Amino acid sequence: MKKKWLFAATAVLALSLAGCGSKDTKNSADNGSGGTKEKKVLVMGTAADYAPFEYIDAKVSDDIIGFDIDLAKAATEKMGYELQVKDMEFNSLIPALQADKIDFVLAGMTPNAERDKVVDFSKSYYDTKEYMLTKKDSGIKSDADLAGKKLGAQTSSIQEDLAKSLAKQIKGITIESRDRIPELVQEVKLGRIDALITEDIVAENYLKQNKDLSYYVIQNQEDQSKAAAFPEGSKLTAEFDKALDELNKEGKVDELKAKWFKVK
């Protein structure tokens, strides 16, 4: 009985010490005087299915890479924070921000009136246009050709709003929404969806990889600006804007555009 009691006590002590070590490693850092201090970490929410803004190249590693990731790293470094990236579904990003599960969002997100009611947006860091992505043999060359077709868009996206608007204007359009862009592209390739609304930079990435796909530029649209989202009233918005201004002046943003978008 004594041996059993000693073993149990030892196990409890070991678990206790292991728990303390894990907490210290995650939340604290050596301050050079034998003590610890809290790390300044910002958690960024993103949806890593939106190449070249944010995605995972499984052939290389499981790390999330892309324009937004590099921009976030550069901006948060200037702001004096370490960056932690959390991947989630696009439609859960703003709810996660409102619930304080993340500190900000950088995910190729476009500000609009509905989103602006519940979050604060940074200055714009990039503008895009919307493409209609189709199969080459689809016969779809303009909005008028969408009559009676299945139109795809990412759930809770600006593109889904545009799809709903087109459905009101053109007879017979049905909308198919999905959480992830790669799934939508695959549906188009298989003929289950006739056309997909997505941004020019994202569409061009798929067009390069899939010779059986084609596109046209959707007419009568405004440029879609990209911005970071923060909780309402957060001081981080102004800090990010300041860092973004500095990065623009230094030419860093243009450097990242050239790297990820192949533009000057």
pLDDT in tens, 19-51: 333 333 234 334 444 444 566 999 999 999 999
Model pLDDT, residue 38: 64
Model pLDDT, residue 263: 53
Residue 120 has pLDDT above 60, yes or no: yes
Residue 223: alpha-carbon gap to chain centroid: 18
Question: How many residues comprise the chain?
Answer: 264
**Residue 144: DSSP 8-state:** G
Residue 17 has pLDDT above 50, yes or no: no
Residues 109 and 226: beta-carbon distance below 8 Å: yes
Q: What is the mean pLDDT of the chain?
A: 87
- Rounded to whole angstroms, how far apart are CA atoms 55 and 52? 7
Task: Please give the C-alpha separations between residue 133 and each of 11, 69, 75, 77, 195, in angstroms, as whole numbers.
Answer: 59, 25, 33, 37, 6
Mean pLDDT of the region 199-204: 93
Confidence class for position 99, pLDDT limits 50, 70, 90: very high
Task: Please give the C-alpha separations between residue 79 and each of 45, 104, 244, 256, in angstroms, as whole numbers.
Answer: 17, 13, 10, 18
pLDDT in tens, 133-186: 999 999 999 999 999 999 999 999 999 999 999 999 999 999 999 999 999 999
**Which helix (H) or strand (E) is 89 found in, with range?**
none
Query: Which position has the higher pLDDT, 2 or 205?
Result: 205
With b meaning 16 or more CB within 10 Å and e meaning fewer, what string describes 47-61?
bbbbbbbbbbeeeee
- Rounded to whole angstroms, how far apart are CA atoms 26 and 9? 26
Model pLDDT, residue 39: 60
Task: Supply angle C-alpha 224, 51, 258, rounded to 5.
Answer: 75
